[in-house]
Structures are given as structure tokens and as C-alpha cells.
Amino acid sequence: MHTNHLQVDKRKVKKKPIHNHKRSHVKSSIIRLMAVTSLTTLLLTGCWDNHELESLAFVTVLGIDEGKHDNLKITYQYFTPTTEAPKVHGAPLITTFEAPSFGVAENIANVTTDRMITSQQLKVTMIGEKFGKKNDVARVLEGMVRSRTYRRDIMLITSIESANTTIRANRSKLGSTSLDFIENMRNQHSFTGLMPVETLNDFLVANESGDRLAYTALVAINKPAPLSKMAGEDVNREAGQFSRQGGDDKVEFAGAEIYRADRAAGRLTGQEARILLMLKHEVKTFLVGLRDPIHKERRNTLLIHQFLSPRVSAHLDKGRLHFIINVPLDATLDSSTAELNYVQDVTLRHKLEKQFNHSFEQETIDLIKRCQTEFKGDPFGLAYAIKWRFLTENDWKKFNYTKHFNEARFTVYYDVQISNFGKQRAPYGSD
């Protein structure tokens, strides 16, 4: 059998030109990229609204109080590019009015200025506590989420006085705007632990989950506290109760407002808020004063560092939920008037560590019991420690976590290690 083979002279075969195809492909890709870039630029600059920067007024702080006839009493603090610096142009602009919704509020606000009011730069929403106790706050705040002008990272604050009163009283003598003052306090929270930073998104997620109570930071105008309330550490007080004279601003941010069933249910002191945030690992450092375990009339100050998250485990013990919480901390002996050699004497050091551990363990248990009896829910978000044992969401819902939390037993351990002593020498007066 004979097979014919086709002979091809490779030297005579002409290659097809492909460079034109590549050029056209590259050209079309460039055109598409330019189109996307142009569209993105238009969107970012807000050209669809056809408003110049000079024609806008930006709301930065919004207050919510109870109005008449089921309306909201809205307070806007806003600025224009020429009124942003109060030390040059005077106090920030504030207006208060009543409206049935946030959308209508912006329309009404525009009758007070020739600028177009916009909430795209809104950073803080302040809720009057009286309003929060009587109204479904989550339902009201959902109106913000539906609007494209409000962002979900807006910080929520509850004011003991009306939001209108507090916003108007917030006047920094150092030249900061009210917004600057609040944002600076917000940035400092992880270094004091005296107030939480809860955003609109955090609040609504907690409210919808059903497993964790929502909360906000607490603000109040400082008032001299009665002598009967002046005992104890300052951190055991809530906003408005700190003993001081003068200062930058008469408005104070400390503590938290707990929300249950969408309504304000009660306040936490600064120390209680600090414990709440430690259990959630949202504190970096803070200072704490302790009476000396040997010389009771003298004091030590520890700088606490929270590097590691608390270790939380949970199990059912004869049907009763049992949480075991271990909080590891590192500490620096910041100052001491005890004149004891805590640097070299390990036994003394362990006594100081034990005193701190015992104090915070008791305060944590007291706070948990308060949440179980007064607030009737879990603001700590501890459900994850037991939820993983349930295979389906329906099984978890049938478990009724909130009921089990309110009846749960807690074992709490604090484990502080003093690893730094400031100046590396024995204290004055020690051998």
C-alpha cells in the first residue's frame, strides 16, 4: 500500500500578519479603560447633582430628640468651606427643627441657608436619652441606612441631656470644632477604655442578631457631683459626674448606654465600659490606680497593655450554661508611693498583681450580674463560645441564647504580668 505525502516548502509559506489584530485589540482595551475612568471620575466628583463645592453646606453632627405630633426634633451642626475654622470665623452653625423623617429634614434645613444641605460628611449622630427610652431607636436609624447620603460608619452617641442641648454646649476653647472634639475623643478611646466606639452599622447588626445587646458611647454636660457621690475612683463615674474645675470643654464622654428591645435601658460607668471593651479586646492601654497591698494609705499606678484577646470557653453543665473567661494582660509599674522594692522582690510583685486581678475579677462579675438582671441580655458578644456546637441555625434559635445567658454561671480570671518597672532601680527608701 502506497501513501502519498504532501510536500510543503516552508520557505515559501507566508506568515499571516498578526500585528494589526494586536494593535486593534490594544486600542479597544485602551478605549474601554478610558471610558471606565471617565465614568468613575464623574461619579466621584458628584457631577450628576451639578452642585459646586461653594454651594454646599455639610452636616457633620446630627442630633435626634422627641418632637411634637410624632415628629423627630432634628439638630444639625454644619459648615461650609468658609466656616470650618471656628477660631477664625466664629461658632459652628447649628439649626434645630422638627420633621417626620431625615429626608424631609434636609429639605426643611435648606430654608435656613442659601447653601444646599448635604449629609454626605455626617460623622456623628447623637441620640437624646429621653428619646431613646421612649422610642424604637433601631427603626428610626434604619431611615439613615435607606438613604444613599448616610454612611454606615457614623458614630452613635447617647446624650444624658437632650441632643440639642449637648450639641450647642460642645464648645472647645482650644479651637476644635464640635466634630473635631468628638473625633479626637473617638481616637482616644482605645487608650483609656472609658467609652466605646459603636457605629450605625454595629448598632443595627447587634440589634438584628438577637444574641447581643447594642450600646453607644455616653455623653453629658459636667455638673458638680454631690459629696456623697465623690468617693471612689473617677473611672467609676459616668459622663457628667467627673470632679474637675475648668478644662477645655464642659462636655464629657465616658461610659455607655445599653439598648434592649431597641430602647435605652441603662448606663454603664467609665469603668464598666472599660471592662466591656476589654472582654471584646477593644482596648490597647489604660492607667489604673490601686491602693498598695502593704501600705493601704499609699498608691500604685499600673499602665495596662492588652496585647492578647480574652480566652472564652463555654459548655452546658446539667443544662445550665457555664462561661470561663481568662483575660491576659501585661503591665508597667508607672508610679508608686509605697517605697517598696517591687523591682527586685518577686513576692511583693505577686501581691500587687494578685490585688489587681482580684479587683477586676470582682468588678467583672458584678457587671455581668447587672447585665443578667437589669439589662437582661449579653452586650459582650459571648455567643460565639457556645454557638459553634449547634449544627443548624434553627437549632441555635431553639436554644434561646439570651435566656441561657441570663441564667448562666461565670468564672472569670484576670492574669496580669508586671514586666516593666519604668526606671530600672530600686525605689527611694528601699534597702
At 117-164, the pLDDT tens digits run 777 778 889 999 999 999 999 988 888 877 777 788 889 999 999 999
Read off the pLDDT of residues 383-402 as tens digits, 9 standing for 90 and up: 999 999 999 999 999 999 99
Cβ neighbours around 311 below 10 Å, total: 13
Instruction: Quickly list H helices, 220-318.
Output: 270-279
In this predicted structure, what is the pLDDT of residue 423?
57
In this predicted structure, what is the pLDDT of residue 336?
85
Mean pLDDT on 155-179: 81
Read off the pLDDT of residues 326-368 as tens digits, 9 standing for 90 and up: 999 999 998 888 888 888 888 989 999 999 999 999 999 999 9
What proportion of the chain, given as a percentage, has pLDDT over 70? 74
Query: Does the pLDDT at position 11 exceed 50?
Result: no
Torsion from C-alpha of 99, 103, 104, 109, nearest 10 degrees = 90
Angle (deg, nearest 10), helices 200-209 and 137-146: 120
The C-alpha cell at 427 is 525605689
Rounded distance between C-alpha atoms, residue 329 and residue 336, angstroms: 19
In Å, the largest CA–CA distance within the chain is 119
Cβ neighbours around 137 below 10 Å, total: 24
Confidence grade of residue 179 (pLDDT, cut at 50, 70, 90): low
In this predicted structure, what is the pLDDT of residue 248?
66
Confidence grade of residue 403 (pLDDT, cut at 50, 70, 90): very high
- CA nearest neighbour of 128 among 167, 98, 161, 168: 161
Query: Does the pLDDT at position 218 exceed 70?
Result: yes
Rounded distance between C-alpha atoms, residue 213 and residue 376, angstroms: 9
Rounded distance between C-alpha atoms, residue 407 and residue 385, angstroms: 16
Contact 264, 133 (CB under 8 A): yes
In this predicted structure, what is the pLDDT of residue 305?
94
Rounded distance between C-alpha atoms, residue 215 and residue 207, angstroms: 9
In this predicted structure, what is the pLDDT of residue 105?
82
Cα 139 from chain centroid (whole Å) = 20
In this predicted structure, what is the pLDDT of residue 272?
95
Q: Is the pLDDT higher at 199 or at 11?
A: 199
In this predicted structure, what is the pLDDT of residue 337?
85
In this predicted structure, what is the pLDDT of residue 213?
95
Q: What are phi and psi of 257, to 5 degrees?
A: -110, 125
Cβ neighbours around 343 below 10 Å, total: 19
Cβ neighbours around 368 below 10 Å, total: 22
Query: Does the pLDDT at position 175 exceed 50?
Result: yes
Confidence grade of residue 429 (pLDDT, cut at 50, 70, 90): low
In this predicted structure, what is the pLDDT of residue 2?
45
Rg (CA), the chain: 30
- CA nearest neighbour of 302 among 270, 345, 334: 334
Mean pLDDT on 59-63: 89
In this predicted structure, what is the pLDDT of residue 30?
52
Count of residues in the chain: 431
Query: Does the pLDDT at position 40 exceed 50?
Result: no
Rounded distance between C-alpha atoms, residue 67 and residue 101, angstroms: 11
Q: Is the pLDDT higher at 251 or at 41?
A: 251
Read off the pLDDT of residues 295-334 as tens digits, 9 standing for 90 and up: 888 888 899 999 999 999 999 999 999 999 999 999 999 8
What proportion of the chain, given as a percentage, has pLDDT over 90? 41
- CA nearest neighbour of 130 among 158, 107, 170, 97: 158
The C-alpha cell at 367 is 457587671
- The CA-CA-CA angle for residues 8, 9, 12, to 5°, reads 125
